[in-house]
A and B are shown apart, each in its own frame.
Chain A
Amino acid sequence: MLATLIIVFREVIEAALVLSIVAAATKGVAGRGRWLVIGVVGGLVGATLVAAFAGTIANALEGSGQEIFNASVLFVAVLMLGWHNVWMNSHGRELAAEMKAVGHDVAVGTRPLYAVATVVGVAVLREGSEVVLFLYGIASGGVGASGLLIGGLIGVVAGAALGFALYFGLLNLSTRKLFAVTSWLILLLAAGMAAQGANFLVQANILPSLGHAIWDTSWLLTEQNIFGQLLHTLIGYTARPSGIQLIFYVGTLALIGGAMKLYGGAPAKPSRAPHPAE
């Protein structure tokens, strides 16, 4: 039961951390609750579907279907996180000022909440499908399965609790600090996801690894350990990064960071950001 608990917990915390960061980043925005729920529910439905068709997905595209699927959803998340950050950077100041002025939620219709919902949905989808497959395997094991399933449920609850802890921890920050901190967290999250996506493309034999392990810090911290895994999720820590992972990590930091600088205009300067189409 304990083993089950830990396995499920480790899957759940990844999605829970992503959810808590984007939830904190969108604090005070009217309508965000609905979008977050859409993301979670959509992710759960998707996770079940992905789990049900795991074999079909894996066999697709000459056996590389799973890798290409994983890489695709990760890159979609990276794009959405990047877009959110760039948008926040160009509108965050006015948003913060407005929130301070009215003292409550602001209705910003143009806020890219669909981006937030997509990121959450994708995180729940990826980790959720693994949990579904894992628990399904246990459930079909028959005798003794109920104890294991309870372990799994506790794992889900514990993972969610950790997410809530991070969320409320972040909410303790002042609004100005909160935007800055979540902005950094999202940037690092995106870079880590991009590196992970690149690794899936290496596994699919589409990208070269450019060096199996450029360095090895597993003597210091492995991702097997919970702390290492938290860092893996939050900032993309990898004990043995391949060359291509480093390129994607640094490239994502540079691209999103550069775009944030570009559209982040100083307060006096009129914003150069394109207004969202809707």
Chain B
Amino acid sequence: MMRKFLPAAFAAAFLAAGALSPLRAEEPATFEISIKDHKFNPETIEVPANKEIKLVVKNLDETAEEFESYELNREKIIAGGGQGIFYLDALKPGTYPFFGDFNQATAKGKLIAK
């Protein structure tokens, strides 16, 4: 039974992945946050709910920061002077906190989907 199941599972997984691959014809609306002195600017950012968005996080500090959010299911190291791009799925209305993992005392912010 397992012998039959495995190839079938593989095939199903690939088909599912193929059929559901994101075909993003247009670039979603872009929102930008910067990091300076280990703080986010702005610390609260409003975005439209139920719409895909693109979030650009620019690190203006010299040291690296890890942008992290459990609620958004994202984590990414952003090198000093670098930027990170996040494509976010349509969000339900609500508040999504994020933080800088390397500077948790100061780097705190939230994204509000309305």
Contacts and interface: CB of A to CB of B under 8 A. Distances in A.
B79 A262 contact: no
Given A55-B82, A240-B73, A251-B13, 16 more contacts: A7-B101, A55-B79, A55-B80, A58-B76, A58-B84, A59-B82, A136-B63, A137-B64, A137-B65, A203-B76, A209-B73, A222-B70, A239-B70, A247-B16, A255-B9, A261-B2
Interface residues of B, number: 44
B26 interface: no
Nearest to B76: A66
Contact of A140 (B62, B70, B104): B62
20 contacts: A55-B80, A55-B82, A58-B77, A58-B78, A58-B84, A133-B77, A140-B62, A199-B73, A202-B73, A207-B17, A212-B91, A222-B70, A238-B73, A239-B70, A240-B70, A240-B73, A251-B9, A254-B5, A254-B6, A259-B6
Given A54-B79, A251-B9, A203 B89 contact: no
Interface of A: 3, 7, 54-55, 58-59, 63, 66-67, 130, 133-134, 136-137, 140-141, 199, 202-203, 205, 207-210, 212-213, 218, 222-224, 238-240, 242, 247, 251, 254-255, 258-259, 261-262
A262 B9 CA distance: 15
A261 to B, nearest CB: 5
B77 A130 contact: yes
B71 A137 contact: no
Given A254-B5, A254-B9, A3 B104 contact: yes
Given A55-B79, A137-B63, A262-B2, A212 B104 contact: no
B29 interface: no
A67 B76 contact: yes
Given A7-B104, A133-B64, A212-B89, A54 B77 contact: yes
A134 B102 contact: yes
B13 A247 contact: yes
B48 interface: no
B105 interface: yes
Task: Count chain B CB atoms within 10 A of each CB in A66, A203, A238, A254 and give the residue with the most.
Answer: A203
B82 A242 contact: no
A258 B2 contact: yes
B86 A58 contact: no
Task: Count chain B CB atoms within 10 A of each CB in A130, A140, A224 and give the residue with the most.
Answer: A130
B87 A205 contact: yes
Nearest to B78: A58
A205 B22 contact: yes
Contacts of B89: 209, 212
Contacts of B63: 133, 136-137, 140-141
A240 B71 contact: yes
B66 A203 contact: no
Nearest to B64: A133
A148 B103 CA distance: 12
Contacts of B5: 254, 258
A58 B22 contact: no
Contact of B102 (A55, A137, A259): A137
Contacts of B20: 208, 210
